[in-house]
Amino acid sequence: MAVLRRILLLGHTHHDVGYTNSPRIIDDAHRNIVGEVVRLAEANPDFRWTFEVARPVLRFLAEAPAAEVEALARLHDEGRISVTGGYLNNTTLPSEVELDAAYEQLQRMREAGLEVRTEQHGDVNGIPWGAVEGMARAGISRLVMALNPDHGRPPFTQPSGFWWEGVSGARVFVWLSTHYGFGEEWGIVDADVALARRRIEEFVEQLSARDDYPFDTALVHAGNDNRWPTALFLEVVRDWNAAHPELPMETTTIDAALDVLEEQGRGADLPVVRGEWSDWWSHGHGSTAREVAVYREARSFTRAAQTSLALTTLRGDGEPKLATVLGYRRGPVRLRDDDEVQQTLAAVDEQLLLFGEHTWGSWETYSKPFSNLSHSHWNAKAGMAYSAYDLARDLAIEGMFRVAASGSGDPAEREGVLVLNPSERERTEPVTVEVRGGAKVRTVATVPAFGAALLPTPAPAQPRTGRTIELGSYRVEVDPARGGVVSLVDVRTGAELVDSAAAHGLGSVVVESVVAGSEHPMLTRNPKDFHPDFPGPDFDRLPATGDAEPELLEGDGYAQLRWTTTPPGLPPAVTTLTVHRDTDLVDLEVALQKPEAFGPESIFVAFPFATADPEFLLETAGAVFAAESEQLPDTSKDWYSIQHAIGVHGDGPGVLWGTVDAPLVQLGGFHTGEWARTLTTERGHINSWLMNNFHFTNFQARQEGTRVYRYRFAASPAVSRESVRLFGRDLAEPLQARHYEGPAFEGGSGLRVDAMDAVVAELRPLGGGAVRVRLRNVGAEAAEATVGWSGDASVDGGGTVGVPGHGVTDLVLRRRDV
């Protein structure tokens, strides 16, 4: 039995970028909340407040008068205000690169005298395993998760404390708090003292009855969605203390509260858990498939822009071929200076993080999908993805033209397919480019590390009919009547990659719908009842089929099979599978037309690999985890939101599989509505969950997403965590290619990164002739890496450095004459 000695009341507002109003309104309102909190704290000595996320404080520091910033710092020093380290209440969409960009901004808070020790989240049901490493690098040692139990389960009883161990062995103390919304539900934020006293008494009684609560302190939230701060909760404190002098209540900040709880936790036998905090709410990513794909493409353009502009910084600007017309398919008409490049990169970082935040719609998006608020809200949210895409794509194209003409030489003007490699390894990969007239052509490029190649422009392939192809590593057979590929043999080993017992072929589009006449409570009572307490409903799952003969295209170094099938209730879909002569990569694309529809349904693309008794290794932000065995208890096993890559190995062929556009997957079969506590998989099936509509608020009520969805996979005899990370990195940072006319260097750029196989390098220009080289170790063993420069320009920096397992080391190179 727990013995409670005090209650700490935590004043904060839950930070939604939207939900209660348009994001255009809410984002500025949260910045203004900071100033209001300063005023309330100065007027009320007992007032304590915590800023749940960092973004509004960062904006305040940049925009507020110096006197107000000084007041915030003074109140923080007095222990009356806490700031936290999470940029926003993020989903699992952001990668480690975006998370690092967010954590780096905390230095601005520290420079202002604000100590950051804690990260706090509300609502979200999960957070990627690699966040532990990110927090450790950012100097954050505690995490608060005031998660919302709707559509999911907490890993332990709320509230609880435990230690979360990262992939490297680093640990953070986690306070799994109650749902933050109790602050309003219990009448605390509105000073309904009678209701508040009754509900807190019930809470205290429940905690006191627990044998697994080794704390003498109860933490109670005084906040809710986007609540404007007031001091009304001080009336609740006064009322409680008058009624319960034996159990005093006081206001607190999150840092002060965790100082108490963490210290008590160190003296208790708290659980230590390792693995992914797999997010039950991530199914919402499938409510807006098109925009999520745009967001992911924007990330790739961002990384390409950073690399090309960093290489240009080191090599020196030449004479890029400039356009005379502003146009989407043309090159730049002018070149940004250093300040403009930094401003654009910062703007892209901001928009990517805003889109990766957990608020997908308004409070009435599901109940009133046609309201102006619902449409306005989604317009603003989607605009974050498209803003990031527009800016990043434009900067990446400028970077390509600049690096092509860079260096001290005078490269001749040439025409062809220009391909840039943004990574530290030589790569051989297929690329697709648009040529004059809008036609797309394909070729396979081999490009040196941080280098360029200019290839002849290939002619478009001419189609004929056929069902089988054999080229390079594979022999393939497709049967449209079964929806997709029925045989894919690795000719090097003779292994069959496709499970012949599957109900459909590889690449099949599968439509999932609720069985007619279902009386599941999510349909008859409340869509909120799509929930672990109500397993189901039952589903029909029907693959698309077709009877038209497939097309076969044979190009320079590649061969394609293209077939048309009709998913039940949808227009025809066109699927294309490509194999290559000089690489074992297999590309699959699905051109899907999905008209707007309401009501629960799902669209999958199926990959029934033949591996038996599989282990699935999934790429999350900053880590790879084994599904089932490396997850926190009761986290999502019905579905997962990954970064890009999955490794499948077991009895039979190993496979590295990746998704370019769509992060959601179900493993080993279809699991929608099972709410399983254990993932049971007999075969290595990966089902890409493109779209779904199983929501009750926030996410979009309509499901649509017409576009091409892209996948890549390869047979692999040795699937490892490192190979999964590298496969995912290459999908996130693909070779950049375009049809190009102008000056172009070929070969290496001069930058050399020599490292063990597990170290990857990321470049970012810093301005003033400086380039950051971030060395990221994707393996468990410490490694050494040597960064050198052999170009014509004079560059300082580089050398040999150690990179700890799963760690990050930065070097700065600087061009001398800048």
- Each residue of 640-698: pLDDT tens digit? 999 999 999 999 999 999 999 999 999 999 999 999 999 999 999 999 999 999 888 88
What pLDDT is attached to residue 70? Answer: 97
Q: What is the pLDDT of residue 484?
A: 98
CA distance 333 to 583: 37
Peptide bond into 159 cis (omega under 30): yes
d(CA 755, CA 752): 10
User: DSSP assignment, residue 185?
Assistant: H
Instruction: Name the burial class of residue 244, with classes exposed (0-12), middle (13-18) and buried (19+) by CB atoms within 10 angstroms of its CB.
Output: middle
pLDDT tens for residues 313-334? 999 999 999 999 999 889 999 9
Between helix 55-63 and helix 66-77 the angle, nearest 10°, is 140
- Cα torsion for 636, 639, 643, 647, to the nearest 10°? 100
Q: How high is the pLDDT of residue 696?
A: 81
| Nearest by Cα to 143 from 269, 53, 206, 73 | 53
193-208 helix and 233-243 helix, angle to the nearest 10 degrees: 60
Strands 217-222 and 6-11: parallel
Q: What one-letter code names the amino acid at 476?
A: V
Q: How far apart are CA 471 and CA 580, in angstroms?
A: 6
**Do residues 2 and 249 make contact, with C-beta atoms less than 8 angstroms apart?**
no
Q: How far is CA 531 from CA 465, 506, 507, 620, 694, in A?
A: 47, 30, 30, 24, 10
**In 10 A of CB 800, how many CB atoms?**
12
Which residues are registered as beta bridge partners of 651? Answer: 612
Write the DSSP string, 139-170: T--EEEEEE--TTS--SSPSSEEEEEE-TTS-
Tell me the whole-structure pTM to 2 decimals: 0.97
At residue 289, the pLDDT reads 95
Q: What single DSSP character describes residue 622?
A: T
Residues of the chain with pLDDT under 50: none
Q: ∠ CA(682), CA(686), CA(688), 5° rounding? A: 150
Q: Dihedral sign, CA of 65, 66, 67, 71?
A: positive
**Contact assessment for residue 128 and residue 95, using Cβ atoms and an 8 Å cutoff:** no
Instruction: Please give the DSSP secondary-structure letter assigned to residue 280.
Output: G
